[in-house]
Structure 1
Amino acid sequence: MSIHYDLYETPDIQQTGEQQPLHPRVVFKGTINQDEFLDRVHKFTGISRSLLAGAMQSFQNELRDLLANGWIVELGDIGYFSASLQGPPVMKKEEVHAQSIKLKNINFRPSTQFKKEVGWQMRPERGESFTRPHGKGRSEEECLTIINEHLKRYPCLTRADYCRLTGHDKQRALNELNAFIEQGILIRYGAGKQVVYAKQREE
């Protein structure tokens, strides 16, 4: 079991103009959707796949309801889920109305034990990210331009669209799209063959 990484220069926040130290970043292999995740759990546990699917849906529904009612939910040794809120900038409490308070995000904080277990299983190996100038194919800047031009004309982008527009193969396309999600540029909707990508909304 291995995880691929590439090295990037740390941003020069202080604008010193000096060379900055390198830091590792994951080169993602792709996305495991719910169907494949259930298949893997079924394969290694022998638990009925239909039972697993029903349990996952039940977990999702209960987690949704508890978060919506203000609870922090601990999911075994995996970690904790909680909701955060946003509202208009005001100076006095009297200026805030309940209707103006909305969900900002669903937060996840992994447990210390879960982080340790992931670290124990991890075997880092040097890989290559498409965001660096080595290798054949289009650069990150070219890919972003292609994405922006496409999303000006259409509401979303599929993996097949991206392959056709960039000339990159399926695996590279998935890696690149996932990298753009990690950077906060794109957001993914749907699952399995119904996955589409759109521009991340600015809050």
Structure 2
Amino acid sequence: MSALYDLFENPPSPDGERQPLHARIVSKGTVGKEEFLDRVHKFTGISRSLLAGAMEAFANEARDLLAGGWNVEMGNFGFFSTSLQCPPVKDKKEIRAMSVRMKNINFRASRPFKKEVGDKMRLQRGKSLTRPKKNSISRETCRTRLNTYLDNHLFISRTDYSHLTGRNKKVAIEELNSFVTDGMIRKEGVGKLTVYTKV
């Protein structure tokens, strides 16, 4: 499965000169915690409850270590650290402890992980879509968009279909199932891992 990208304009320079385009991933959406656990469970066979417990334990331990001023290396993923913020001053004596607080939690991917993602990534030119208003377009327009999408992709998920058409979850499932009944697409997988492919 390819990652989609598109080319975007950089803001013009102060003198109005156009800047070079830059490539950026066109997001397919977000894989939530539950779907992520389902995927890992399906491909490893490790108990889903065990995975959920381990994920919670990792998060709790990382939280406590970061709060204690440690950087945390999370397996092969990379490193978590915290950053601080305080009022702008020129003399250390002007700062009280109460005015210094956490700004953000930062993540820096490890070199091996970045290399693995880069080696595995297959890029395909796509177009960023403006999501339609919820349930605002006709069923036939949805059918056309779905056909076009499946001409360029191996499958579509319910989430991708919702993004493509503006359908809410319930309407998207009903519509996809009706297209299955019509013989236009076939349904594969179960639960949150369900995808739809062209017949």
If the length of structure 1 is used for normalisation, what is the TM-score?
Answer: 0.65
Aligned 8 A contact 2:10 2:21 in 1:
yes
Instruction: Map Cα deviations across residues 124-167 of structure 1 (whole Å, 9 max, x no partner).
Output: 01111136xxxxx76xxxxxxxxxxxxxxxxxxxxxxx626x76
Q: 2:47 maps to which residue?
A: 48
The offset of 1:9, in angstroms, is 1.9
Structure 1, unaligned stretches of length 5 or more? Answer: 132-136, 139-161, 175-203
Residue type matched to 1:5 in 2?
Answer: Y
Name the CA distance, whole Å, in 1 between partners of 2:2 and 2:129. 19
Which residue of structure 2 aligns with residue 3 of structure 1? 3
Find the counterpart in structure 2 of residue 100 from structure 1.
Answer: 99
Task: Report deviation, 1:173.
Answer: 7.7
Q: Distance in 2 between matches of 1:173 and 1:16?
A: 40
Equivalences for 1:15-164 in 2 at 5 Å? 15-130=14-129, 163=134
Q: Distance in 2 between matches of 1:89 and 1:18?
A: 34
SS at match of 1:90: coil
Give the equivalent residue in structure 2 for 1:170.
162
Deviating more after overlay: 95-104 vs 32-41: 95-104
**Which runs of 5 or more structure 2 residues have no equivalent in the other structure?**
143-160, 167-199
Query: Which has the larger displacement, 52-61 or 69-78?
Result: 69-78
- SS of 1:54's partner is helix
Tell me the matched-pair count.
Answer: 144
> 1:170 Cα deviation (Å)?
2.1
Residue identity over aligned pairs, in percent, reads 58
Stretches (4+) displaced over 4 A: 166-169
SS at match of 1:83: strand
For residues 57-109 of structure 1, the C-alpha deviation after alignment (integer angstroms, 9 at most, x for no partner) is 00000000000111011112211000000111222212211111111000000
Cα offsets for 1:28-49 (capped at 9, x unmatched): 0011000000000000000000
Which has the greater radius of gyration? Answer: 2
Provide the C-alpha distance between the structure 2 equivalents of 1:172 and 1:85, rounded to a whole number of angstroms. Answer: 40
Task: Determine the C-alpha separation between the residues in 2 that align with 1:40 and 1:63.
Answer: 23
RMSD: 2.2
What SS is found at the alignment partner of 2:11? Answer: coil
SS at match of 2:19: coil
In 1, Cα distance between equivalents of 2:98 and 2:17? 49
Tell me, in whole angstroms, the C-alpha distance in 2 between the residues paired with 1:129 and 1:170.
14
Higher relative contact order structure (alpha carbons within 8 Å, sequence separation ≥ 6): 1
Q: Which residue of 1 aligns with 2:195?
A: none
Cα deviation for residue 23 of structure 1 reads 1.2
For the Cα contact (< 8 Å) 2:11–2:18, is it kept in 1?
Answer: no
